Structure 1
Amino acid sequence: MTQPWSGGYVADIAYIEGFYIQQSPVRMALACLLGSVAAEMPAPDDQACYLELGCGIGVGAMLIAASNPAWKVVAVDYNPAHIAIANDLARTAGLSNIQFLEANVVELAEGAAGSAIPTADFVSMHGLWSWVSPEVRAGIVKLLAAKTRPGALVHLSYNALPSWQAGIGLQRLVYETGRRAGGRSDAQAEAGLALARELRGVEATYLTEGRLTHDLIENVHGGSREYLGHEYMNAHWAPAFHADVVAAMAGAKLDWVASANPLENFLELTLKPEQRAIMDRYSDPIMRELIKDMCLQRHLRHDVYVRGARRLRNADRDAAIERLTIAPVISPSELQTTLIVPAGTAEMSPDLKALMEAAMRGPTTIGALRALDPAHSNPAELVSVLVGTHQCQVAPYPEAAQPDSAHRLNRVLGGRIKSIVEGRSSGLACAPLSTGLTVPPLLQFITARLLAGESVDNAPRWIEMLCGDVLPEKHDKIREVVHLAIEQRIPVLKQLQIIPG
C-alpha cells in the first residue's frame, strides 16, 4: 500500500540491496570511449562529485565513496526508511565523504537543499525513470540541468520499449488486482501475480504470447518480495522508448553516447549479419538504436549521457582505449571463451583466446595485450569482450592503496552475512577499480572474516556458520563452494588489494 505522501510511488517497503557496476564512473567513462567520446577519470585525490538519484539503501554510492575517499558523494531518495538504513550503514563504516538526502526530486530541483549539492562530475539513476510520475521526470531533467558540469557523465537505466511491450498488460493487471487486495505492496504484487498465473492457465491471449510474460509470471519466485512490490505496484510505472528518453535528456543539454554494457556497443556480438545490414542503411544513431531495440530482448537499458560531447576520431579513440588498464576479476581457471551473446553463441578465435588468457595474468593495458598480436585484434573489441563478459574490469588506479574507508565498509557489509543462501550479489569496495567489485554474499562474508584477522584455516567454522539454514544433505555442497571460493577468488581479491596480501 502506498503512503499518502508518496505520490503513488511504493514507499511502504524498502527496496532490495544491490550494486550495479553500470553505475560506476569508470564504466560510464568506458562507454564514452566506446562511443568515440572523450572521457577522463578523476585522480584519486581530485575533488570530484558523484550524485545518485533514487539511491535506495545506498550500497552502490557507499562503495564509490569508500573507494574514492577524496570524492564527495551525494545520494538522494524519497523514502525515509531507505535514508535511515543508509545513514546507519555509513556511520558504522565511518564514511565521512558521503551525504544521504531524503528529498523529493521536484522540490530538490528548486529548493535550498538542491542549491547546496555540489556540481556533479558523475550522476547515476538506476530504474528511477520508469517508476516515477511525469512531474518527477521533469524535476530530474531540471536538476540535471542545474547540477551537471560541462563534461559530466550521466548513467540512466530504465525499463525499455519495445521489449517491455508484452509486459504492459501484465503490470496493469497486477497493479489493479493488488490495489483491490490491500495490504503491503509486496503482498499486493503477489495477489496480482496469482491472478495472472490463473489467467495464463486458461490461455488468456496477452499472458500467453511472448517470452517476457512467461518469464515474469513463471520465474517470479526468483525475485524478492521487495522487488516485486516496487516493480509492479508503482502508480506511474511506464517503460520508455530510447528516442523519448534522449529527447527528455536534451532538456538538460545531455547527449546520449552509448550503452554502459560494453557488448551492446559491439554489433558483431549483438546483431545477426542480416540485422546489421539493415541498420547500416542509417547513420542517425537514434534510428540505429531503435533498430537494435527491435531486434534485442533488452528489458533494461543502461545508457550513458554526457553534457558536452567531445567527439574523437577513430585513431584517437583507439589510442585512449589502449591506454586503459584492466584487471582480472576471476581466476585463470574460470576464463570463458565461448560466450552466449544476443547474436547467439560466439566462440572466440584462437588469437583472441590467447589475448584473453594473457589478460588473466594480472593488471595490464589493452595496448600491451594488443602488442602480443596486433594483426588480429582491435582495442574496442578486446576491451568489450573482457569487460563485457565480467571477466575483467577497467582499473584506472592499479597501484592505488586500499584506503581504510574501503576496509571498514567491506567489514560492515560482509559482517551482516549470516547465510550462504541469503541476499543477492552485492559488492566490495576497491580503490584500484575506483568502484565496487561485484561479488556474491559468500565472498563478502569471507572478506570480512579475513579483514577481521582470521585466516582461511577457519574455513570449517565458516562453513558451520553458513549452514544454519541449509538442509544437512546440502552441507557437502556448501563445503565445496566455500573451498572453491577460497582457492579461486582469494588470490584475485589480494591482487586487487581488497584483502591484504
Structure 2
Amino acid sequence: MTAGNDWGGGYVTDLEYIEGYYSQQSPSQLVLACTLRGIAAELPGPGEPLRYLELGCGQGIGALVLAAANPAWKVTAVDYNPAHIAGARAVAAAAGIGNIDFIEADLSTLAGNEAARAIPEADFTSMHGVWTWVGPEVRAGIVRLLAEKVRPGGVVHLSYNALPAWQGAIGMQRLVREGGRRAALRSEAGVAAGLDLARALNAAGAHYLQTSPLVQHLLTATQELAPEYLTHEYMNAHWAPAFHADVAAAMAGAKLDWVATAAPLESFPSLMLSEEQRALYERFEDSPMRELVMDTCLHRQFRHDVYVRGARRLRAGERDERLAAMTLVPIVSPAELDTNLAVPAGTAEIGGGLKALMAEALQGPTTVGALMARHPGVSNAAELVAVLVGTNQAQVTAAGAPQAPSADRLNRYLGGRVRSLLGPRGASGLACSFTGAGLPAPKLLHFIVARMLAGEREDAAGAWAEALSQGLDEAGRQEVPAIIALALQQRVPLLRALGVVPA
C-alpha cells in the first residue's frame, strides 16, 4: 500500500521498516559458515580494507554498525525507499560515520547505470529479507547487479522466507493483505484490520487457518510485534516465500555457488536431523536435494543462505587449520553459559568435554587452537565453534582491534535515543571493533553504553532506572532496577573488556 500513490509498485512505502542488526550479515559469520563447509573465504584482519554492499538496507542500522566498527572498510547500502535513505544518512552524519554511502535506487534498474558504476566491487554483499518482498523484475535486477558488483571469490548473504515451512501460511498472508487494503488506506491500519479479519475467521472455524500450526502460532505471535514489521511482512503485493533450489538457480545467473547457511549449527546434519532423517538426507549428493530434505524435516521458516562467486574447496586439513587460527570472543558472561541445544527430539544438554570447552571459552578471547590444545581429549573444533556462535554466545574474529572512535560515536548516538524500556524490543547491535561486527543488544544495553560513554558510572543506576521506567505500569517500574543490576553484573564487565565502554 502506498497511501494514494503508486511509485512503490506494490511495495510498502508509507511506513518505514523496523531498525535491526542481524549477526548473519557480518563478514566474520559468513566466513565461518564457508569455513565449516570447507570453502575458502578470508577472515578480515584488523584495519584491513574491505568493501561491503547491502541491498535493501532499510533504515541502515546493520550497515552503520559494521561501518562504525571497521573504519577501514568502505560500506555501500542501497534502498528503494527515500525515507529510509534520508534517515540513515542523518544517523551517519550525526554519528560522524564517514566510510559509508547510502544510495536511493530501484534494484530492478540499478545494474549498469551511473549510480551502479560508482559502487565498489564488493568483497561481501548482504540482502536481508528483500528477496521475499519484491517482484520478479526486481529479483532479476538484483541478479544483474550481483553479476556486475560481486568480485570473484566474493561472499553473498541472502535471507528469505522459506518453503515448505511457510506453505501453510500463504493463504493467511493473502487474506491479511486483501482484507487490510480494503479496510484502510494507510498500511499500518490495513495490516491491523487484516489480522483482525484473520483472527475472526479463525474463531469462526475457518478450515485452512485452523489446520495450520504455523498460522495458529502467527495469529498469537503477531499481537506482540511492531506494526512496522507486520506491515512490511504482510502487506507487500509481491510477497512470496521460496524454495532453496529456486533461489539457488536464480543466483547461478550471477555465477554464485551456494555453499552453506549462515546458521553454523545447520552445517551439522548429525545435530539437526534424527538418525532416520539423516539416512534419507545422505541418499543424495547434490546440495539442492539435501537442503530440500532438511527443509522438509526442520521447521525452518527463514533461511540465511551463503553464496560465493567461484567457490574453492579447501585442501585436506586446511579447514581445521583455519578454524584453529580464529579467535573466539565471548559475547555473554560465564554466568550466562547455555548448554541446551535444540535437536529433533527437543532439547539436548551438552556435557562432558565440549561443555568444559564452552565454559572456558567464555572466560575471555582465545584462539580456537589454543583452547583445543588445553583439552587434548576433545577433537571437534568445528562443533565447538558452531555451537558457541550458533547459540549467540561467541563471535569469531581474526584478532581483536581497539575500539574505533566511530564505534563509540554511533553507540552513544543510538543509545541516546532510548527514552524508556516501553515499546518493541527490536534487534539492534552495538558496534564493536574488537569483533569487527555488532554485539546483539537490547534497548537497555544501548542506554547503559551511551550513558557510560558520556562519563556516567554504575552508581548512576538509580537515575537510569527512573529514566527507563517512563510509561511503564507500577509492576514494570518495580522490575527495572533488578534488570539494570543484572546487566551491570553480567554484561558491563564484558563490554569493558572489549572496549565498548570505558575502563
What TM-score, normalized to structure 1? 0.98
Shift of 1:199: 1.1
**2: CA distance between counterparts of 1:348 and 1:495?**
27
Q: Which runs of 4+ in 1 moved over 4 A?
A: none
**1: CA distance between counterparts of 2:316 and 2:345?**
25
Unpaired runs of at least 5, structure 2: none
Partner of 1:56: 58
Partner of 1:197: 199
Deviating more after overlay: 291-300 vs 331-340: 331-340
Shift of 1:44: 3.2
Q: Quick one: structure 1 residues 218 and 387, their matched pair in 2 at CA, closer, same or farther if it must change by over 3 Å? A: same
Shift of 1:336: 1.0
In structure 2, give the amino acid aligned to 1:103. A
Q: 448, 455, 458: which is aligned to 2:457?
A: 455
Partner of 2:404: 403
Partner of 2:327: 325
**2: CA distance between counterparts of 1:151 and 1:343?**
38
**2: CA distance between counterparts of 1:341 and 1:16?**
31
Shift of 1:475: 2.3
Shift of 1:221: 1.3
Partner of 2:422: 421
Deviating more after overlay: 481-490 vs 330-339: 330-339
Contact 1:50-1:121 within 8 A present in 2 as well = yes
Q: Quick one: structure 1 residues 65 and 322, their matched pair in 2 at CA, closer, same or farther if it must change by over 3 Å? A: same
Partner of 1:18: 20
1:5 equivalent in alignment to 2:21:
no
| RMSD between superposed Cα atoms in Å | 1.1
3-state SS, counterpart of residue 111 of structure 2: helix
In structure 1, give the amino acid aligned to 2:292. L
Q: 365, 368, 380: which is aligned to 2:367?
A: 365
Instruction: Provide, for residues 317-341 of structure 1, a one-character-per-residue CA deviation record: whole Å limited to 9, x for no partner.
Output: 1111111111111111110112234
Partner of 2:127: 125
Deviating more after overlay: 102-111 vs 67-76: 102-111
Q: How does 1:239-278 map to 2 (within 5 A)?
A: 239-278=241-280
Contact 1:467-1:478 within 8 A present in 2 as well = yes
Contact 2:169-2:215 within 8 A present in 1 as well = yes
What TM-score, normalized to structure 2? 0.98
**2: CA distance between counterparts of 1:198 and 1:209?**
15
1:222 equivalent in alignment to 2:228:
no
Contact 1:425-1:441 within 8 A present in 2 as well = no
**2: CA distance between counterparts of 1:314 and 1:185?**
54
Partner of 1:33: 35
Instruction: Provide, for residues 369-407 of structure 1, a one-character-per-residue CA deviation record: whole Å limited to 9, x for no partner.
Output: 212223333111010011101111113232x11111000
**1: CA distance between counterparts of 2:403 and 2:233?**
36
Shift of 1:195: 1.0
- Report percent identity of matched pairs: 57
Shift of 1:453: 0.6
Partner of 2:492: 490
Contact 1:396-1:434 within 8 A present in 2 as well = no
1:306 equivalent in alignment to 2:308:
yes
Unpaired runs of at least 5, structure 1: none
Contact 1:269-1:346 within 8 A present in 2 as well = no
Partner of 1:97: 99
Contact 1:51-1:124 within 8 A present in 2 as well = yes
Partner of 1:114: 116
Instruction: Provide, for residues 47-99 of structure 1, a one-character-per-residue CA deviation record: whole Å limited to 9, x for no partner.
Output: 31100000011000000000110111000000011011101110000011000
Contact 1:54-1:126 within 8 A present in 2 as well = yes
Instruction: Provide, for residues 158-210 of structure 1, a one-character-per-residue CA deviation record: whole Å limited to 9, x for no partner.
Output: 00000000010001111111121122111111111111111111221110112
Contact 2:162-2:303 within 8 A present in 1 as well = yes
Partner of 1:79: 81
Deviating more after overlay: 1-10 vs 88-97: 1-10
Shift of 1:314: 4.4
